[in-house]
């Protein structure tokens, strides 16, 4: 009988939740207001046994809040070797650094627009990062002239 009353109260609360009116304004619901820490909305037909199981689990978690805080169990994951990725990035940037230095070596200076004129957009971005790395390593000096960057080799 208690289970039946509890299930009916859950249905009443669910019906009230589906409506836009707050519960306080409803007069046809004869249920004491209980703060429900759990809400179960089924997307398929539910049997009475399944509802009772959910209700028993709910009562158990309310009665023993510490036991409901189970430790999550994760399978151990192999940590990737990030050095492989860093070496790959350094190698890629190094290739673009060589490209830039090769293009401006004869005159000692060049414009970014001239260097990347025949490249695809992803290669333009990589060249931009490469000139920033070259400037950080003090191999080139950068100067912005209007909407272009002048790159000068440091001797």
Tens digit of each residue's pLDDT (9 = 90 or more) over 22-70: 545 555 555 565 565 656 566 777 788 888 887 887 777 777 766 545 5
Q: SS3 string of 52-112?
A: HHHHHHHHHHHHCHHHHCCCCCCCCCCCCCHHHHHHHHHHHHHHHHHHHHHHHCCCCEEEH
CATH 1.10.1660.10 fits 82-153, yes or no: no
- pLDDT of 88 > 90? The answer is no
Q: How far is CA 46 from CA 7, 41, 43, 50, 57, in A?
A: 12, 10, 9, 6, 16
Parse the chain into domains and list their residue ranges: 2-68, 82-153
Q: What's the DSSP call for residue 31?
A: -
Does the pTM exceed 0.75?
A: no
């Amino acid at each position: 009988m208690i289970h039946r009353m509890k299930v009916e109260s859950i249905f009443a609360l669910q019906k009230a939740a589906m409506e836009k009116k707050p519960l306080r304004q409803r007069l046809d619901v004869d249920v004491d207001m209980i703060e429900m820490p759990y809400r179960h909305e089924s997307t398929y037909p539910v049997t009475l046994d399944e509802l009772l199981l959910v209700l028993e689990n709910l009562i158990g978690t309310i009665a023993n809040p510490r036991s409901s805080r189970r430790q999550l169990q994760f399978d151990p994951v192999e940590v990737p070797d990030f050095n492989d990725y860093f070496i790959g990035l350094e190698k890629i940037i190094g290739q673009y650094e060589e490209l830039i230095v090769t293009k401006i070596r004869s005159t000692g200076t060049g414009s970014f627009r001239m260097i990347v004129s025949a490249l695809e957009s992803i290669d333009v971005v990589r060249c931009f990062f490469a000139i920033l790395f070259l400037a950080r390593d003090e191999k080139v000096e950068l100067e912005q002239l209007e909407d272009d960057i002048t790159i000068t080799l440091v001797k």
